[in-house]
């Protein structure tokens, strides 16, 4: 039953088309919320951040729902402080009413569904929602049958004020007819809003005619978020997740070594590491742009933690630019400005596709398609109570991969580079193993936000000729690099043809 919401009658609509959500028993700090929708109508007749990918061509549907309730806020437990080791002890501090939206993309036919829902903390750096992880992993999500749910968890993207005057357009201003009733008091509510959104789409949700998952048999929930949202997920994992247990795994993308505050007036330690006493698997995947900021927060991989760094990649690259540019042109009439040199073209998305596949298998208790599983002794409630771990069994997990090479000189870390200026170490895609360009992590000018988009400077013909005497030599080296990437586990077999196509387009004489 669809709902057309106006700013004066949302409560009447909610009476006609609502569902009180069942919060899992482990989520004792979350309160019941009410779901209404699917939402229709409004000035634009579609959701903000609706997909620029043709979902119907993949057998997917997109629907929007409103989530209404009371959010728990959190604070450090009395007598404790929030430490850099991430082993936070937090307690409920208060409550605040909210109404926000979730955006759902799911297979229409349950036979296409792989059982996993990706719950994305929508990025609000620009003062509006951006589906930053979806922008990179949508190809893998669609071909492998994931469902995706975007959560508007933060005030700035719902109610403002404008983070960037003249550019930012929060939901209530973008379409007041559709979104005029939405309200989030402040970001102290955001963590529990995210938990309650998970309850709305998880395996323990109440089943009725009003089901945002369309009756799909959900088995796992993976929390995902990039950049600003990565910082909030880092704090969520360290503090909120041990209380709520709403997710089976976490994919944190592009984190600059810090977390986010529990409330606007609170401080957060920096650097912030991922706590290591939980069994719920978490993967952090960083581009080269975040390496130096993350350096002080680097930590060894554990039975529940993987940390990857991709050499030559940028925080916001040319691939994700195409998605963001399409959304900004359509929704705000503001194309992304051009950068000179052009934005970084290292295909970070292939590594994220592989990371997602690894995390999904890991959270299900598998190391890979035929990977071994070893038994762990549960050493406390955190292991025994973790979701996605069956009978105390934990998969060996994704591969442990080398990090970008960093040298500390005069107390300052610096990335070591080859003679072309490309980073050494780290995950090395074929584009950096067999280079045709310099791939920089920080672009110019900063005023156009090109700093986050990095740069690509192609080699001239003389350099290319010195590296590759003929095209056959280049293609042999690329083929070997692709094979190594696939064997090492940071490229999926389904992306190998795309890597080959990239190589074919290279300007080798």
For 260-305, write each residue's pLDDT tens digit. 999 998 889 999 999 999 999 999 999 999 999 999 999 999 999 9
* Per-residue pLDDT, 16: 32
Interhelix angle 348-363/134-144, rounded to 10 degrees, is: 50
* Per-residue pLDDT, 32: 74
3-state SS record for 113-174? CCCEEEEEECECCCCCCECCCHHHHHHHHHHHCCEEEEECCCHHHHCCCCCCCCCCCCHHHH
102, β-bridge pairs? 65, 151
Confidence of residue 2 (pLDDT cuts 50, 70, 90): low
3-state SS record for 356-370? HHHHHHHHCCCCCCC
* Per-residue pLDDT, 368: 40
Compute the mean pLDDT over every residue in the chain, rounded to the nearest whole number: 88
* Per-residue pLDDT, 379: 25
* Per-residue pLDDT, 366: 57
* Per-residue pLDDT, 207: 73
In the chain, the percentage of residues whose pLDDT exceeds 70 is 88
Using the predicted structure, report yes or no on whether residue 18 has a pLDDT greater than 70: no
**How long is the chain?**
509
Half-sphere exposure of 242 (CA within 13 A, CB side): 21
Return the structure tokens found at 403: 């990090």
Q: If phi over 0 gives left and psi between -120 and 50 gives alpha, with beta otherwise, what is residue 269?
A: beta
* Per-residue pLDDT, 479: 97
Return the structure tokens found at 343: 């934005």
Using the predicted structure, report yes or no on whether residue 1 has a pLDDT greater than 70: no
* Per-residue pLDDT, 266: 87
Confidence of residue 311 (pLDDT cuts 50, 70, 90): very high
Q: DSSP string of 185-214? A: --GGGHHHHHHHHHHHHSTTSPPSS--TTT
Give me the helices (H) in 205-290, please. Answer: 228-235, 241-244
For the stretch 385-398, pLDDT in tens is 333 333 333 447 99
pTM for the model? 0.89
For the stretch 208-259, pLDDT in tens is 778 999 999 999 999 999 999 999 999 999 999 999 999 999 999 999 999 9
Confidence of residue 31 (pLDDT cuts 50, 70, 90): low
Using the predicted structure, report yes or no on whether residue 14 has a pLDDT greater than 90: no
Instruction: Count the neighbouring beta carbons within 10 Å of the beta carbon of residue 232.
Output: 26
Rounded Cα distance, 184 and 14, in Å? 18
For the stretch 417-471, pLDDT in tens is 999 999 999 999 999 999 999 999 999 877 778 999 999 999 999 999 999 999 9
* Per-residue pLDDT, 384: 28
Rg (CA), the chain: 22
* Per-residue pLDDT, 107: 98
Confidence of residue 509 (pLDDT cuts 50, 70, 90): confident
For the stretch 160-180, pLDDT in tens is 998 888 888 999 999 999 999
Cα torsion through 133, 122, 157, 51, rounded to 10? 60
Using the predicted structure, report yes or no on whether residue 102 has a pLDDT greater than 70: yes
């Amino acid at each position: 039953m669809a709902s057309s919401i106006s700013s004066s009658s949302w409560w009447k609509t909610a009476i006609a088309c609502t569902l009180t959500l069942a919060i899992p028993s482990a989520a004792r700090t979350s309160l019941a919320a009410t779901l209404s929708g699917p939402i229709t109508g409004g000035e634009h007749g579609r959701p903000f951040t609706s997909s620029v990918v043709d979902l119907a061509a993949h057998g997917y549907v997109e629907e929007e729902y409103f989530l209404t309730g009371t959010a728990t806020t959190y604070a450090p437990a009395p007598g404790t402080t929030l430490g850099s080791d991430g082993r936070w002890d937090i307690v409920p501090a208060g409550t605040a009413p909210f109404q926000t939206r979730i955006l759902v993309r799911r297979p229409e036919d349950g036979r296409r569904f792989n059982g996993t829902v990706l719950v994305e903390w929508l990025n609000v750096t620009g003062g509006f929602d951006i589906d930053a992880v979806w922008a990179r992993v949508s190809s893998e999500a669609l071909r492998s049958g994931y469902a995706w749910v975007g959560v508007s968890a933060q005030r700035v993207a719902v109610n403002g004020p404008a983070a960037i005057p003249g550019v930012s357009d929060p939901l209530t201003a973008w379409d007041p007819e559709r979104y005029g009733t939405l309200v989030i008091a402040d970001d102290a509510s955001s963590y529990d809003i995210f938990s309650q959104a998970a309850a709305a789409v998880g395996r323990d949700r109440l089943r009725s005619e009003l089901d945002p998952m369309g009756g799909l048999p959900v088995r796992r929930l993976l929390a995902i978020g990039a950049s600003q949202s990565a910082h909030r997920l880092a704090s969520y994992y360290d503090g909120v997740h041990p209380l709520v247990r709403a997710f089976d795994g976490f994919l944190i993308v592009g984190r600059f070594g810090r977390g986010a505050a529990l409330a606007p007036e609170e401080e957060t330690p920096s650097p912030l590491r991922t706590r290591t006493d939980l069994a719920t698997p978490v993967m952090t995947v960083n581009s080269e742009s975040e390496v130096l900021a993350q350096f002080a927060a680097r930590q060894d991989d554990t039975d529940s933690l993987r940390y990857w760094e991709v050499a030559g990649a940028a925080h916001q690259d040319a691939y994700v630019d195409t998605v963001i540019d399409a959304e900004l042109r359509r929704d705000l009439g503001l194309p992304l400005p051009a950068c000179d040199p052009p934005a970084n073209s290292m295909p970070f998305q292939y590594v994220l596709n592989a990371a997602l596949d690894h995390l999904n298998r890991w959270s299900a208790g598998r190391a890979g398609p035929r990977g071994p599983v070893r038994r762990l002794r549960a050493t406390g409630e955190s292991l025994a109570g973790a979701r996605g771990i069956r009978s105390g069994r934990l998969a060996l997990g994704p591969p442990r991969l080398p990090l970008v090479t960093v040298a500390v000189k005069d107390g300052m870390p610096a990335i070591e580079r080859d003679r072309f200026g490309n980073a050494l170490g780290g995950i090395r895609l074929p584009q950096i193993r067999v280079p045709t360009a310099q791939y920089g992590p920080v672009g110019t000018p900063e005023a156009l936000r090109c700093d986050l988009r990095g740069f690509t400077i192609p080699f001239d013909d003389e350099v290319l000729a010195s590296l590759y005497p003929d095209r056959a030599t280049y293609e042999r080296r690329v083929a070997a690099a692709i094979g190594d990437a696939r064997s090492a586990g940071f490229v999926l077999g389904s992306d190998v043809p795309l890597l080959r196509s990239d190589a074919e387009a290279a300007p080798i004489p």
